[in-house]
C-alpha cells in the first residue's frame, strides 16, 4: 500500500502539529538510514545540524567561526578540526566566508585516522597509552 494510501495515524499532541511557516530546515531521511548520522561523532553532528538549521534553501550559511564556536561551545581548535572533518566527509563546502550544506554523497565517507606521531597524540588518542597513564596515575588495576 503506497504511503499516501495509509490511514492517518492519530497525533500524540494535535495542538503541537509542526508547520513550515517562517522557514524550515531540511535533512533527508537517508542521513539517518544511510549511515551518515552514525558515521559522525557528537561534535560533527552538532556542527552539521547547526549548519543545516542556519542554511537558506540552497544550503548556504554565513555564520562566522566566532559565533559558531560560541553557540556550540567549541574552542577554535575543535571547530577547525570538526569543520575540516565535515569537508573531508563531503558533507559541507566552505569558501572562507560561507558554508554550503551539500547533497549527500552516495555513501558515508570514513575519514582515515591521522597517524599518532607525538607523545601528546598518543596520550590523547591511543587507548593503550591512555590506559597506561590511568593505571600509573590512579594505581587502578583489574
Domain around 50? 28-110
- Asked if 49 and 96 sit in the same domain, the reply is yes
- Asked if 58 and 98 sit in the same domain, the reply is yes
Say if strands 99-101 and 92-94 run parallel, antiparallel, or are unpaired.
antiparallel
Number of domains forming the structure of the chain: 2
Please state the three-class secondary structure of 33-49 as a single string. Answer: HCCHHHHCCHHHHHHHH
pTM (whole model) above 0.85: no
CA distance 22 to 117: 50
List, for residues 16-39, the tens digit of each pLDDT value: 887 777 777 889 999 999 999 999
- Asked if 139 and 123 sit in the same domain, the reply is yes
List, for residues 113-127, the tens digit of each pLDDT value: 666 677 777 777 777
CA distance 49 to 27: 9
The CA-CA-CA angle for residues 106, 107, 110, to 5°, reads 140
Q: 65-72 and 76-88 are packed helices; what angle lies between their axes, rounded to 10 degrees? A: 100
- Asked if 56 and 72 sit in the same domain, the reply is yes
List, for residues 43-64, the tens digit of each pLDDT value: 999 999 999 999 998 999 999 9
- Asked if 87 and 132 sit in the same domain, the reply is no
- Asked if 142 and 85 sit in the same domain, the reply is no
The pLDDT, as a whole number, for residue 112 is 60
Give the strands of the sheet with 99-101, arranged side by side: 60-61, 99-101, 92-94
Amino acid at each position: 500500500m503506497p504511503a499516501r494510501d495509509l490511514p492517518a495515524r492519530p497525533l500524540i499532541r494535535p495542538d503541537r502539529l509542526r508547520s513550515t511557516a517562517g522557514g524550515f530546515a531540511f535533512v533527508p531521511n537517508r542521513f539517518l538510514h544511510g549511515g551518515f548520522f552514525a558515521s559522525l561523532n557528537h561534535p560533527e553532528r552538532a556542527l552539521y545540524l547547526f549548519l543545516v538549521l542556519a542554511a537558506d534553501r540552497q544550503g548556504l550559511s554565513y555564520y562566522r567561526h566566532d559565533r559558531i564556536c560560541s553557540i556550540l561551545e567549541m574552542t577554535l581548535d575543535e571547530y577547525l578540526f570538526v569543520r575540516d572533518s565535515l569537508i573531508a566527509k563531503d558533507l559541507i563546502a566552505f569558501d572562507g566566508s560561507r558554508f554550503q550544506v551539500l547533497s549527500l554523497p552516495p555513501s558515508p565517507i570514513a575519514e582515515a585516522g591521522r597517524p599518532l606521531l607525538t607523545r601528546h597524540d598518543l596520550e590523547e588518542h591511543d587507548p593503550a597509552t591512555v590506559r597506561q597513564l590511568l593505571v600509573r596515575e590512579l594505581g587502578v588495576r583489574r
